[in-house]
Structure 1
Amino acid sequence: MAPEGNKTEVMISCQPYVSCVLLRIFPYLIGVVIICGNLLIIMSVIYFKQLHTPTNYLILSLAVSDLLIGLLIIPLNAEFNMDYCRTHGGLVCIAQQCIRVTLTTASILNLMCISIDRYYAVCKPLVYKTTITLNVVVFMILLSWSSSFLLSIGFVVAEINYAKCGEKCYIDVFIANVSGPNFTFFLPTIIMLCIYAKIFFVAQKQARSIQNRTYPNRTVRKTEGKATKTLVIIMGAFLICCSPLFIFLMILFINKVSVSVEVIDFLSWLIMSNSLLNPFIYAFFYSWYRSAFKIVISGKMSLGHFSHIRLE
C-alpha cells in the first residue's frame, strides 16, 4: 500500500507545479505573439514602397509602441508584478511603471492619431493630401511620444510624493489618480468615439448617395455593414481591453476602498492584450498587408526586387 500512497502524493504535488509553470510561461507566449505580429507590420511598412504613406506611418508608430510593450513591459510585469513592487519597491519598479505608462499612453495616442487621419480621409477627402502631409504625421507621432513620456514622469513623481506624505499631498493624489486617467484614456477615448461616429455617419451618407445613382440595395447594405463592422471592431476591442482598469481606478479613488493587487494585475494584463489585437485590426484587415506578410514570412524579401511590387 505504501508505494500507491507515495504515487498519489507525487501526482497531487505535480498538479500545482504544472499550473505554476503554465502561468509562468503564458505571459511570455503573449509577449512573443505581440512582438511577431507588430514586427511584421514594422518590416512591411519600412520595406514596401507602396506602404510609404501617412496612414501607414501612423500604423508604424502604433506597431513600435505595441512591440515595445511585448518586448519590455510584459517580461518586467511577469518578473516584478504589482504585489512585488508594493512590498519591495525600488528603482526597478519605478522604471517599470514609467515605461508602462509611457508605452500604453503612446499606444492610445497613436490610435487617436489614426482616427484623425481616417476622419480626413473619409470626411474631407478633397483636402486630405494637403492636410495630412508627411510633416504633419511626423509632428503627430513626436507629439504622441513626447506627451506620453512627460505624462509618465509626472505620474511617477506624483505617486512617489504621495507615498512619502500620504493624504497631505492632495495635489499629487489628484494628479496621479484623476488627471492621469483623464489625459491618458478618457479624453483620447471621447475624441475617438466622436471621430468614428462622424466617420460612420458620413460613410452611410456617401453609401446612400451612391445607391441613388448606380448601386443596388444589396451592395449598399453590404458597404454600410462593412463600415459598421470595422468601427465596432476598432472601438470595441479598445474599450474592452482598456476601459475596465481606468474606470476601476477612478471608482477606487472616489470610494476610497482597497482591492487585491491580483485584480489590478489582471486589468493591467487586459490593457496589454490590446497590443496583441492591434496588428490584426489595423493590418490584417487590409489585403495589401496580408500580401506583404506573405512575402516577409516566406523569406522572399531577402531575394530583393520586391520593395516596388504591387500589393493587392
Structure 2
Amino acid sequence: MLEEPTNCSMCCCTTLNKILTLAFMVVLMFGILCGNSLTLAVVLGTKHFHTPQGYLKASLAVADMSVGILVVPLSVYAEIRLLLPDAPPGWTARDSQHTRFHPCILIGPVFAGCTLVSITTAFLLTIERSIAVLKPLHKDAVITRRRTCMLIVCSWTGSFFLALSPLIFSSEIALEYNACSRMCNYALGAAEFPSRAWHILLLFPAFDFTLLAGTVVTNIISFTTIRHHSKKRRRLAQAGCQSTSGPTFSDIKAAKTIGALTLVFTASFTPVAVFVVGNVTGKTWCNFSFFAFWILAASSCWNVIIYSVRDQKFRLRARRLLVFSKIKDSP
C-alpha cells in the first residue's frame, strides 16, 4: 500500500490554495464541455465542414470532451471530498493494486488515451493540410472521407492500446490518484523500479516526441512552400499576370490555423513528456507535475478558441448557433 504523501504541490498545501485549485478545475471543466460541444455542433451541423478536415476536428473535439466529462470531474469530486472534515475515499491514498474498486482504472487510461488521440489527430490534420499545400491538384484524390474515417478509427484504437499497455504488459505498474498532480497517474506498485516497467512507461514520451517532431517538421515544410507561393503570386501580380497553380487562399488559411493548433498542443504536451522522463529516473517534481498535467488538461479547450480566432466561417456559424439558442430560450 502507498504511504500517505508527506509533500504536496504548492497549490494544494493550504485551504485557500485548495479552494482556488478546485475553482480552477470547475471552470476548466465547464470550459472544456461548452467549447467542444460548440465545436461539434458547428462541425456536424454545417455542410461546409463535412470534409476530411472537419471529421478530424470532430474526432479531436470528442477526445477533448471526454476529458471534460470523465477526467476533470473525478479530480473535482476527489478535491471536494478531501476538503470535507469526514474521511476521504480510500482510493485517494491507495493505488489500484490495493483497492477492490479504483476509479483511476477507468480514468487513467481515458486521459492517456484521449491525450494520445489528440496528438495523433494534430499530426493527421498537419498531414492533411500539407498535402493540400504541396499537392493541391491531387488533394481530393488523396484525401478522401473514407480514408480519413479509417485513419480516425486507427488513431483511437492505437492510442487506447498504447494507453493500456502499461497495465497489460507489466504487473508492477498500477494507477493512483496522485497527491501532486491531483489526477490519476500511472505509478509503480513495487518498491524497486524494474527495467521492463521503465521501458514501458517511456513509450508515452517516445510516442509524443516522435509525433510532435514529425508535426513540427511537416508544418515547417508547408509554411516554406506557402511563403514561396506567396512571393511568386506577388511577382506575378506586379507583372499583371495571374497564378493558377499552387494552394488556394482557403488552403493557406486552414494550414495556418492547424499550425497554430499544433503550436499550442506542442507547448501543452511537452511538459508532461518531460515529467514522465524525469519520473522514471527517480525525480518527484511535485509542483512541476501539477502544472504539467493541468496545462495538458487545459489544452482540451484551446481548439474552439483557435478556430474562432482563425476561421471566419466557424466563427460566424458559432455566433449564429449561440444567438439562436438565446432567442429560443428567451420568453
TM-score scaled by length of structure 2 = 0.75
**Which of the two has higher C-alpha Rg?**
1
Cα deviation digits, residues 70-116 of structure 1 (max 9, x gap): 121111233348x9867322321222211110111111111111111
Determine if contact 2:198/2:280 at 8 Å carries over to the other structure: no
1:237 maps to 2:264: yes
Aligned-partner residue type, residue 293 of structure 2: S
CA distance in 2, matches of 1:46, 1:232: 23
Find the aligned partners of 1:228 and 1:126 in 2 and give their Cα distance.
16
Instruction: Confirm or deny that 1:174 pairs with 2:172.
Output: no
1:137 corresponds to: 148
Q: What is the identity, as a one-letter code, of the residue corresponding to 2:214?
A: I
Mapped contact 2:125–2:258 kept (Cα < 8 A): no
Aligned partner of 1:186 in structure 2 is 209
Alignment correspondent of 1:3: none
Aligned-pair CA distance for 1:208: 1.1
**Alpha-carbon distance change, 122 to 63 in structure 1, aligned in 2, over 3 angstroms:** same
| 2:218 is the counterpart of 1:195 | yes
Residue 168 of structure 1 and its aligned partner are, at CA, apart by: 6.5
Q: Which runs of 5+ in 2 are unaligned?
A: 1-13, 83-89, 97-101, 174-187, 240-248
Q: Tell me, yes or no, if the aligned pair for 1:237 and 1:274 is still in contact at 8 Å.
A: yes
1:35 CA displacement:
1.0
Alignment of 1:202-241 (within 5 A): 202-214=225-237, 233-241=260-268
Tell me how far apart the structure 2 counterparts of residues 86 and 157 of structure 1 sit (CA, whole Å).
23
Task: Give the CA deviation at 1:248.
Answer: 2.5
Alpha-carbon RMSD across the aligned residues, in angstroms, is: 2.9
Contact 1:55-1:114 within 8 A present in 2 as well: yes
Aligned identity (percent) is 23
What code does the residue aligned with 1:182 have? A
Deviation at 1:287, TM superposition (A): 0.6
Residues 171 and 291 from structure 1, CA distance in 2 versus in 1: closer, same or farther, beyond 3 angstroms?
A: same
1:77 matched to 2:75? The reply is: yes
Task: Tell me if structure 2 keeps the 8 A contact 1:203–1:227.
Answer: no
Structure 1 residue 227: Cα displacement:
9.3
Aligned residue number for residue 89 of structure 1: 95
Instruction: Show the counterpart of 1:267.
Output: 292
After TM superposition, the structure 1 stretch with the greater mean CA deviation from structure 2, 227-236 or 144-153, is: 227-236
What amino acid does structure 2 have at the position aligned with 1:89?
D
Change (3 A) 1:236 1:41: same
Q: Which residue of 2 aligns with 1:296?
A: 321
**Does structure 2 retain, via aligned residues, the 8 Å contact 1:97–1:156?**
no
1:13 equivalent in structure 2:
none
Measure, in 2, the Cα distance between the counterparts of 1:75 and 1:275: 14
Summarize the Cα distance change of 1:118–1:283 in structure 2 as closer, same or farther, 3 Å threshold: farther
| Pair 1:110 & 2:121 matched | yes
Partner of 1:310: none
Contact kept? 2:129, 2:255, Cα under 8 Å: no
1:172 CA drift (Å): 2.3
| Residues 33-72 of structure 1: per-residue CA shift (max 9 Å, x gap) | 1111111110111111121111111111111111111121
- Counterpart amino acid of 1:274? S
> So what's the TM-score if we normalise by structure 1?
0.79
Kept in 1, the 8 Å contact 2:32–2:301? The answer is: yes
* 8 Å contact from structure 2 (residues 52, 145) kept in 1: yes
Q: Matched residue pairs, number?
A: 276
CA distance in 2, matches of 1:245, 1:158: 22
Residues 200, 227 of structure 1: 8 Å contact kept: no
> SS at 2:283's partner residue?
coil
Structure 1 regions of 5+ residues with no counterpart?
1-15, 217-222, 304-312
On the 8 A contact 1:295/1:301 being kept in 2, the answer is no
